[in-house]
Amino acid sequence: MAYRVHVVPNKNRRTMHPIEASKAPSPYGLEVIESCLTCELRKDRLYCDLPDGALAGLDSISSPATYPKGAVLFVEGQEPRGAFIICNGRVKLTANSADGKSLILRIADPGEVVGLPSTISGRPYELTAEALEPIQANFIPRQEFLQFLREHGEAALRTAEMLCHIYHATHQEIKYLGLSGSAAEKLARFLLDRVGSVTSDNGAVRAKQTLTHEEIAEMIGVSRETVTRLFTSLKKKQLIEVHGSTLIIKSRTGLEKLVEA
């Protein structure tokens, strides 16, 4: 399936006011970020909040573009062309089996870099990266990226931090699949990880849940029907509530008992 990719010009463009640059319109309704240097969100993102000199160097080798939902940035087994910094939207990273089964290993949020391990190592991409929704991403060719890291120590340190983040996310996925004895335990672990250690006075915890039942199923290694059935069961037991994209953990203790069982 072919996708139309809209390239955002960032070379030889006219100078724009920061507010104008960060909110230029795009075909997919995104607020396009024209330049890393004028991005209003850079302070909130690990990899984007670099010193101005390093950020200018990164911006000079980046090619921004917007992609529709379902667009594939790279596929498992492909030789690494480079890395993508996600500016807006989310990207799912999946491993696929020969019989067509898919497992989501990670969801990349804005500010994250996808394709990073293979871009550094030179080994083929280990996962497939697909847009969960319309996204903007900055593509950085592999050789230019490696040279950039050699010249900017702070950026190299941030890259190491990002690799540690990827390692942690992969470790969490192994916990879901390897340490959980039942589908209910896998889902309970997943929901508890989503809210982390946050607590509230009345014991209820709210978290934003933007993944579909199908996507959750692909993250914990069960069927979509099983996830739907388990959500219904947890609601009946008054352990959770779901209101649109808001997940409310009404009883953390109840979910923890499912994990311990």
pLDDT in tens, the chain (261 residues): 445 555 555 544 333 333 333 444 556 676 766 666 666 666 556 667 788 888 889 889 999 899 999 999 999 999 999 999 998 999 999 998 777 778 888 889 888 899 999 999 999 999 999 999 999 999 999 999 999 999 999 999 989 988 998 888 777 777 767 666 788 988 998 888 877 655 554 667 888 888 889 989 988 888 999 999 999 999 999 999 988 888 888 888 898 888 886
Range list for CATH 1.10.10.10 in the chain: 180-260
Which residues touch 152 (CB under 8 Å, ≥6 apart)?
A: 50, 53, 54, 57
The answer to whether domain 6-177 has CATH 2.60.120.10 is yes
> How far is the C-alpha of 108 from the C-alpha of 223, rounded, in Å?
22
User: Nearest Cα to 191, choosing from 214, 208, 179?
Assistant: 208
pLDDT at residue number 174: 75
Q: Give the model's pLDDT for residue 227.
A: 94
- The β-bridge relationship of strands 72-74 and 128-131 is antiparallel
Phi and psi at 227, nearest 5°, equal -60, -45
**pLDDT score for 205:** 82
Q: What is the predicted pLDDT for the residue at 91?
A: 95
Q: Report DSSP letters for 4-49, one per residue.
A: --EE---SSPPP--HHHHHTB--TTS--B---GGG-TTGGG-TTT-
Residue with tokens 């996600």: 86
Report the side by side order of strands in the sheet with 113-114.
6-7, 63-67, 135-141, 82-88, 113-114
| pLDDT the model gives residue 135 | 94
Question: What pLDDT was estimated at residue 16?
Answer: 34
Q: How much is the pLDDT for 83?
A: 96
H or E segment and range at residue 114: strand 113-114
Q: Tell me where in the chain the CATH 2.60.120.10 domain(s) lie.
A: 6-177
Distance (Å, rounded) from C-alpha 3 to C-alpha 159?
Answer: 30
Q: Are 141 and 81 in contact (CB under 8 A)?
A: yes
Domain 180-260: which topology?
A: Arc Repressor Mutant, subunit A (1.10.10)
